[in-house]
Amino acid sequence: MAADERQRIDKWLFFARVVKSRSLAAKLAQAGRVRINREKTEQASQLVRPGDVLTITLDRRILVYRVLGPGVRRGPAEEARLLYEDLTPPSSPAPLPLKRESGSGRPTKKERRALDDWRGEN
Domains recognised in the chain with CATH numbers: 3-86 (3.10.290.10)
Does pTM surpass 0.85?
A: no
Chain segment 14-53, per-residue pLDDT in tens = 999 999 999 999 999 999 999 999 999 999 999 999 999 9
> Sorting pLDDT into bands at 50, 70 and 90, what band is 90?
confident
For the CA atoms of 39, 41, 46, 47, what is the dihedral angle to 10 degrees? 30
Chain segment 98-122, per-residue pLDDT in tens = 566 766 788 888 888 888 888 887 6
Q: Three-class SS string for the chain? A: CCHHHCEEHHHHHHHCCCCCCHHHHHHHHHCCCEEECCEEECCCCCEECCCCEEEEECCCCEEEEEECCCCCCCCCHHHHHHHEEECCCCCCCCCCCCCCCCCCCCCCHHHHHHHHHHHCCC
Under a CB-based contact definition with an 8 Å cutoff, are residues 56 and 70 in contact?
Answer: no
Residue 1 has pLDDT above 50, yes or no: no
Residue 118 confidence (pLDDT): 85
Residue 2 has pLDDT above 60, yes or no: no
